[in-house]
Amino acid sequence: MQLKQVQDPFGEVNIYPDPNGSWRVRASILMEPRCEGTQTGVAMDGSASMANLYGVSSIGHLSAVFREKIKLENLISPVAQSICAYLARKLDADGGTTCIYWSTGPGGGQIEELGDFTADHVENYHFGPPAHFGTGTRLLPAIQYFEKRFVDAPWGFYVFITDGELHDLAEVKEYSLFLARAIAAKKRNPLKFVLIGIGAEVNEQQLIQLDDQDTGTGIDLWDHKLAAELRSLPQIFAEVIDENVRIAETGRVLDPAGNVLLDYAKSGVPGWLDFFVARPIDYFCLELPDKKLYQSLRDGITPPKNEYSRQLSPREAISEEKNNLGSTHPAVTINAKDKATDDKTASTQEFEGSSDQKATLGNADLNFNLEFEPDSPYFSK
């Protein structure tokens, strides 16, 4: 079970219940990866089912009397702008993220290339609908486009925006298994794919199937997120953690009563916390030398506020305030077309849309940066 309510600085929290009533908990520490030579891409679903999300009516030809009353918003463009700008500025070796439409044309098997966008360029670019909506939804051609075009890249990180209605899921799983085996055997460089589900009717179950695919290699190719639940853009890296990284020299994991669940006194605190609890608990605490960080283990439970033994930086304070008040707090809101702030300024990015199709993203600073060696298995579970 993957929790939906995750507090900073945790990235992803998974619970594996045991028949005897105990839990295994795996929680990642949110990090922005650094890998020399990284190539990035953003691919937008261009199938007909996405028409309304691009602000285009899928009803067909109507009388002008009715047409005037149909006003749809483009929810794809601000999401694509934000993610593309973030990747170009933070991760891409060339400073330009490759953008495409996928699932276009007859059968939904075609690709429409948009080009490489720098952060400054994409923040003023409007992602309208593709030239030809697809009559099917095929993800595999988009995967193959990126992995073959950037086959020599030390690391590839690619984001696919979709409503989650895939018609070639079995083929995608088979090809993912092929890629995972090739990566494990060091026959090709590592890749990471992230599916971003968007829209009120997103089919999350298909996204989960890919996210949970067991390749038997220790290579975790896929992650998925829902745009409406993303609290910050670095969350797309929630699974990109090097098992060997250490975020602190010492630390402990405590239960609500203060009992020690795991002690990192000798090994240092890793990017992935992995521990067991004998019975279900409401939250845990990661105790570090200068802070206590709390994370609930049940959606709907509010854990204690994080505690710090030092004064917070301005960015940490804003992030902590938003975290304590909840995702509905307005915090610092900017328009999706405004430029993203630099590394010294805290902000959040709010997507415009209907009340049930709104997602808020932030780029609050993180305490940890992660640099990978070219052959590091940084997304192995």
The mean pLDDT of 368-375, rounded to a whole number, is 41
The mean pLDDT of 73-85, rounded to a whole number, is 93
Per-residue pLDDT at 9 exceeds 90: no
Question: For 125-136, what is each residue's pLDDT tens digit?
Answer: 999 999 999 999
Question: For 189-244, what is each residue's pLDDT tens digit?
Answer: 999 999 999 988 888 888 999 998 988 998 889 999 888 888 778 778 777 766 66
- Poorest-confidence range of 76-85, 251-260, 315-324, 368-377? 368-377
The mean pLDDT of 238-267, rounded to a whole number, is 85
**pTM of the full structure:** 0.69
Q: Which residues of 42-64 are buried (b: 16+ CB within 10 A; e: fewer)?
A: bbbbbbbbbbbbbeeeeeeeeee
Res 378: pLDDT: 37
**Please, what sign has the CA dihedral across residues 331, 336, 338, 343?**
positive
Res 171: pLDDT: 97
3-state secondary structure the chain: CECCCCCCCEEEEEEEECCCCCEEEEEEECCEEECCCCEEEEEEECEHHHHHHECCCCCCCCCHHHHCCCCCCECHHHHHHHHHHHHHHHCCCCCCEEEEEEEECHHHCEEEEEEEECHHHHCCCCCCCCCCEECCCCCHHHHHHHHHHCCCCCCEEEEEEECCCCCCHHHHHHHHHHHHHHHHCCCCCCEEEEEEECCCCCCHHHHHHHHCCCCCCCECCEEEEEHHHCCCHHHHHCCCCCCCCEEECCCEEECCCCCEEEECCCCCEECEEEEEECCCCCEEEEEECCEEEEEECCCCCCCCCCEECCCCCHHHHHHHHHHHHCCCCCCCEECCCCCCCCCCCCCEEECCCCCCCCCEEECCCCCCEEECCCCCCCCEC
The mean pLDDT of 32-52, rounded to a whole number, is 91
| Residue 164 banded pLDDT, cuts 50, 70, 90 | confident
Question: Domains (ranges, CATH) in the chain?
Answer: 36-236 (3.40.50)
What is the chain's mean pLDDT, rounded? 80
Percentage of the chain exceeding pLDDT 90: 51
- Poorest-confidence range of 166-180, 303-317, 328-342? 328-342
Per-residue pLDDT at 62 exceeds 60: no
The count of C-alpha atoms lying within 13 angstroms of the C-alpha of 236, restricted to the half-sphere facing its C-beta, is 27
Per-residue pLDDT at 104 exceeds 90: yes
Question: What whole-number distance in Å separates Cα of residue 345 and Cα of residue 212?
Answer: 36
Res 24: pLDDT: 92
The mean pLDDT of 17-31, rounded to a whole number, is 88
**Please, what sign has the CA dihedral across residues 52, 58, 61, 66?**
negative
